[in-house]
Structure 1
Amino acid sequence: LDLGHLDRIILFAISPTPSYITIGAYALLACILASSTLLLHWSGTLSHSSIWLLRVLELIAAGIAFVVMLYTGLLLESLRSVPLWSNPWLPVLFVLSSISCGAALVLIVARITGAQQLFTKALTNLVSIDAIIIALEAVVLVLFVTASTRGVNAGILLGDDPLGSIGMDVTLSGTAAVLTELTSTDIAALVSVRELLIGVNAWLFWGGFVATGLFAPFVGDIIIARKGVDVVVGGKMTSAPLVMAVCVLVGGFIMRYCIVEAGIHPALNAVGVM
């Protein structure tokens, strides 16, 4: 998807050049291989492998997974032509979201396979850690948005479109003095922030990510961490951990979608697409 064309994939495989896409692609391949090997071990196919070798492989897989989590944020952050993405907090936000999504997948797999009953304590601890990760994700989200506002007051930024159709037609006297000191890049970043917070997809951002992907899982994690992932309600094991995990995954996808859409909004406006 990052390469865009099939012929580029072939060229990339034949003669790769150092780039975030190159590193990410090879890291993803290595992550798949390492994960597959671990899966074979846990399924019993490689049951005779030594514990020491298994621990080494787990550490290697964790390191590779971190590279995979980091590379997308670094790739977007390196695109200086999109001011909203050119933000040092974006890779951090993506990494925290990826960790939380990974924890969610573990909970889902554990519930589906029945491993939840075997690893109750470990999964409960994982839920506690996920609550901390989600809290950090919320803090980094605020830092990301704040850094993108270029110091412009929120009242001005979220007012009655002081930035004009693409951010260049400043007509309100109360904001002109502030905005005239900004570069075109700053203006484009502000337009993206407006699009993210109060634009067409704002309902997705606030409802799908902030409410569903952050607030609900955080509250759910706190409750589950206190009662355990195997809480029985009415004689049946509650599905709360599964629901919270799905919320995290949905929120992670929506967050990425909204940030990508808000980032390209000024460019689309400039060419008359939006």
Structure 2
Amino acid sequence: MFGELVAAYLFLAGTGAGGIAAASLVDLLVVRAPCGAASAASVADTSPAERLVAYASATSASALVAGAACLIADVGRADRVLALFFTPGFTFMNVGAWALTALITVGAALALVRFLYLPWVGRAAVAVLEVAAVALAFVVAVYAGLLLQGLAGVRLWSSGWVPVLFVLSAASCGCALVAGCALFVEADGRTVALGRAILRSDAVVVGAEALAGALFLAGAAGSDHPGVAASVERLLHGSAALPWWCGFVLCGLAAPLAIEAAFWLRERRRGSGAIGSGGARSLREVDVPAAFSAPAFAVPPVALVALAALVLAGGAGLRWAVVEAGEQRPLELQEVEADGSAHAANPAGGYTEDGEREEPSLWLS
């Protein structure tokens, strides 16, 4: 029903959406980079925090473009690509296609504003684009889960926890993307404090993601539907077990929480006045310890690389596992004839009457 290209699209689109939302929120709430005539002529001349936002915006927009390319390659035909936008009525697919296109456009515009000297683009216009980017990012992150949830042929995906998991995973992957970009920016007082806030926010998101994943699995395991039981078996012990346990649970949940807990304990031992320990100092007022030089988050580069890579691997593992567990469910799709024989139903293009796989036009449903 869905293949590797679709799983790659779900991951790249979610990561790109989360990254653009994270970068936009950081700029809106903390950095407030000058724009227009007040901006620097080159991104190299800006502050470390401004460069961090610029790098995260460009990387996120690139991930979105790569995700869209995977989607187009999976659809395969120009008429089907156009049908994603112009399918009559209100469907998850045409809303998602328009939202993805709009987010790519807004994300590219934000990246250009930060990398090019555009004196006619004021701060107010950039702020409007950033607010629009956050809203569009949420739509892109949630619609893929709603699309899967709405497919009647796979009962595993009908859980309300699927879109919740996708949104939380997109947020965590967005934080990881910003953390990865911090490797290329030097530390100062604002970026160090910003790094603490982002890593702690990610820990909260990962904790919520772990709870949502447990509830999703518990709900599926408690179902008496034979198709869901087969999907759960595949998720726990079959072909989806590796991405679920090693990818999502280990890399995406347990390891990041352990690393972020170690950062928190280190800050507690240092007694450095970090955010959340009294709130005496703002994001703009935290001093940089002399031992910290790079990267921007004042975290050892190896640990920062490991954290970003693990979270992103977990996001990919989640989508691969959920898609794989629901794939090719002939038990669930079978209908029994009056004479007792069975034939494979094809509500989403999964199998023909001869039991052979049929490539679906699922994007048009």
What is the 5 A alignment of 1:238-253? 238-239=300-301, 240-253=303-316
Identity %: 33
Q: Give the structure-2-normalised TM-score.
A: 0.59
Q: How many angstroms does 1:150 deviate by?
A: 3.3
| CA shift digits 1:79-100 (9 cap, x unpaired) | 0110110111100001000110
Query: Residues of 1 paired with 2:293 and 2:186: CA distance?
Result: 19
Q: Which position in structure 2 is the counterpart of 1:63? A: 135
- Please say if 1:128 is aligned against 2:200: yes
CA RMSD for the aligned pairs?
2.9
Query: Residues of 2 paired with 1:30 and 1:268: CA distance?
Result: 39
Q: Which position in structure 1 is the counterpart of 2:227? A: 188
Q: Which position in structure 1 is the counterpart of 2:325? A: 262
Q: How many angstroms does 1:116 deviate by?
A: 5.4
Contact 2:92 2:143 in 1 (8 A): yes
Secondary structure of the residue aligned to 1:46 is coil
Q: Give the structure-1-normalised TM-score.
A: 0.77
Query: Residues of 1 paired with 2:191 and 2:293: CA distance?
Result: 20
| CA shift digits 1:58-97 (9 cap, x unpaired) | 1111000000001100000000110110111100001000
Would you say how many aligned residue pairs link Structure 1 and Structure 2?
Answer: 239
What is the 5 A alignment of 1:137-156? 137-150=209-222
Secondary structure of the residue aligned to 1:84 is helix
Query: Residues of 2 paired with 1:139 and 1:58: CA distance?
Result: 30
Unaligned runs of 5+ in 2: 1-70, 268-287, 335-354, 358-365
Higher RCO structure (Cα 8 Å, ≥6 apart): 2
- Please say if 1:218 is aligned against 2:257: yes
Q: How many angstroms does 1:146 deviate by?
A: 1.4
Structure 2 vs 1, CA of residues 109 and 235 (structure 1 numbering), >3 Å: closer, same or farther?
closer
Structure 2 vs 1, CA of residues 224 and 43 (structure 1 numbering), >3 Å: closer, same or farther?
farther
Secondary structure of the residue aligned to 1:220 is helix
* Residue 25 of structure 1, aligned match among 89, 97, 103: 97
Query: Residues of 1 paired with 2:204 and 2:311: CA distance?
Result: 13
- Please say if 1:4 is aligned against 2:75: yes
Query: Residues of 1 paired with 2:76 and 2:161: CA distance?
Result: 29
* Residue 147 of structure 2, aligned match among 65, 71, 75: 75
Unaligned runs of 5+ in 1: 152-181
Q: How many angstroms does 1:110 deviate by?
A: 2.4
